[in-house]
Amino acid sequence: MTKKTNTISLVEHREALNHYVENSDKEGLRDIAEKILNCTQIIGSSDDFYDFGIGLARLNDYEMACRIFERGLDVYTSSVDLLAGYILYGIDCDGNRTKCESCYKMLRAIPDERWTWRGYSFSLQYLYTLLQMTNPNDVERLKELNEEMVALIDLFRKKSPKDERIYIAEARLYSTSEPEREFNTLEVAVQNLSICPRCAYQYAVLLINRANSSDDYRKALGALKKALKLSTDADNINFKNVYFLQGLCLKELLSDEDYKNKEKIKEIYECFNVAQIDTDDGVVLSNNFHKMLKQQISILYKLTNISWENE
């Protein structure tokens, strides 16, 4: 085992952290993390510990991320973000689940005014994971978790009423038991929030799945445009999925006369093309959408006699 050195600074390793994350070099980042953890003293703010842990989590090294969070908590014992980060990623590590319970209790003991959005959002994801892991026959436990989630959603809404994460968490709570409430929750978000890319995308998907009129496809198209316009890397919106669904909606809105309109057909093909084109950002069209895209291109050609290549 490597001998521990005295002191190490997280700030001095920030550039290396960013480099390894950007290049998806999990082993390189893990080596630095081991070096850091072997030190008797780690210099850095709670944000520095959090950022390093999140870098590891982004490369799916949840166990190492939790070790970094835990070292940070040795110094910043009531850091909301470090506690939230631990429960979010620790729940996926079998050996850390007991510690997650402890961290969640510590987090809930911290006054609400000190909570960040991560405290609410990550806690809700943690509770939702526990909900999924609970035996369906354990009615009391399921009720307890549901009530806890509802209480946190209410607190989150009071503190940050314009944050779409509230609606995402609420919609997810109803996704299996009350699908209509899930749909209505997302619809309210799209109508009331100026920035809600994730809600807009999920709302559009549900609309398309249940569509029985042109109005449904028009609403879905509007939501997709909103999701795409407001989307950033942090929003985790797959823009290729959005473009595919846009093309699908445009196709469903074609009238008999539109089948001869080359400009409208070209617009659909352009959406499909963006959805499947190779890019350097690592974003790929979802597998189920990829299969549907090929089918839709074939159907569109048969209906219009206008080929993708010619347009």
Q: What is the pTM of this model?
A: 0.83
pLDDT tens track for 47-70: 999 999 999 999 999 999 999 999
Q: Apex CA 235: angle with CA 66 and CA 129, to 5°? A: 45
Reported as a single tens digit per residue, the pLDDT across 99-130 is: 999 999 999 999 999 999 999 999 999 999 99
User: How far is 289 from 65, CA to CA, in rounded Å?
Assistant: 33
The span from the CA of 111 to the CA of 119, in Å, is: 11
Q: What CA–CA distances, in Å, run from 225 to 187, 229, 249?
A: 15, 6, 11
Question: Residue 222 is encoded by which pair of tokens?
Answer: 């509007």
Residue 2 to residue 223: CA distance in whole angstroms: 54
In the chain, which residues have pLDDT < 50?
A: 1, 310-311
CB neighbour burial string for 188-199, b if at least 16 within 10 angstroms, e if fewer: ebbeebeebbbb
Q: Rounded distance, CA 2 to CA 39, Å?
A: 10
Cα 248 to Cα 242: distance, rounded to the nearest angstrom: 10
pLDDT at 281: 74
Diameter of the chain by CA atoms?
Answer: 76
Q: What angle, rounded to 10 degrees, do the helices at 197-210 and 164-174 form?
A: 40
156-172 burial, b at 16+ Cβ within 10 Å, e below that, comes to bbebbeebbbbbbbbbb
C-alpha pair distances (Å), 166 with each of 104, 145, 156, 158, 247: 19, 16, 7, 10, 29
pLDDT of residue 1: 45
For the chain, first and last CA: distance in Å?
A: 63
| CB distance 285 to 244 below 8 Å | yes
SS3 41: strand
Q: β-pairing, 7-9 with 41-43? A: parallel
CA 177, chain centre distance (Å): 21
Adjacent-strand bridge partners of 41: 7
Domain extents for the chain? Answer: 179-237, 241-311
| C-alpha–C-alpha distance, residues 247 and 43, integer Å | 51
> Which region holds residue 238: left if phi is over 0, alpha if psi is between -120 and 50, else beta?
beta
CA atoms within 13 A on the CB side of 155: 19
Give φ, ψ of 7 to 5 degrees: -135, 145
- Residue 59's φ and ψ, nearest 5 degrees, are -100, 15
